[in-house]
């Protein structure tokens, strides 16, 4: 899908962003709806509204902070099998509770 297709569908993260995060690559992205549901803006990903923003990030952010941003983007704790299983269990409980509320 192209970016235009993704925008028409609502929003969908670019696989490249997720892959870059998984590799602990510091990410500079343009601004788009839903990005903050995937990454914490300013902590795990940097947003550039202009060429000047990109240049400022590259010139002014120390290497140690760039590496820290990349590390925070990894979010490995949220992508383990254990975490995914716990998340699934939580959704099942929520569904069951919703059904029991309707049966009252």
Tally of structural domains, the chain? 1
* Site of tokens 């914490």: 40
The pTM (predicted TM-score) of the whole model is 0.65
In this prediction, residue 47 carries a pLDDT of 96
Residue 59 inside a domain? The answer is yes
- Tell me the longest C-alpha to C-alpha distance in the chain: 61
When pLDDT is cut at 50, 70 and 90, the band that residue 12 belongs to is low
Per-chain mean pLDDT for the chain: 84
- The pLDDT tens digits of the residues spanning 74-98 come to 876 566 778 778 888 999 999 998 8
Q: Reply yes or no on whether the pLDDT at 55 is more than 60.
A: yes
The boundaries of the domain holding residue 17 are 3-75
Residue 89 inside a domain? The answer is no
Q: The tokens of 41 are what?
A: 């803006």
**Cα–Cα distance between 45 and 71 in angstroms, integer?**
10
**Cα–Cα distance between 19 and 74 in angstroms, integer?**
9
Residue 103 inside a domain? The answer is no
């Amino acid at each position: 899908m192209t970016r235009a297709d993704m925008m028409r569908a609502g929003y969908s993260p670019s696989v490249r962003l997720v892959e870059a995060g998984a590799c602990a690559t510091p990410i500079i992205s343009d601004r788009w709806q839903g990005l903050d549901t995937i990454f914490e803006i300013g902590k795990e990903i940097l947003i550039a509204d202009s060429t000047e923003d990109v240049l400022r990030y590259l010139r002014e952010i120390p290497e140690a902070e760039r590496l820290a941003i990349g590390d925070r983007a990894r979010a490995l704790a949220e992508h383990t099998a254990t975490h995914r299983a716990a998340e699934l269990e939580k959704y099942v409980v929520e569904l069951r509770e919703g059904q029991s509320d309707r049966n009252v």
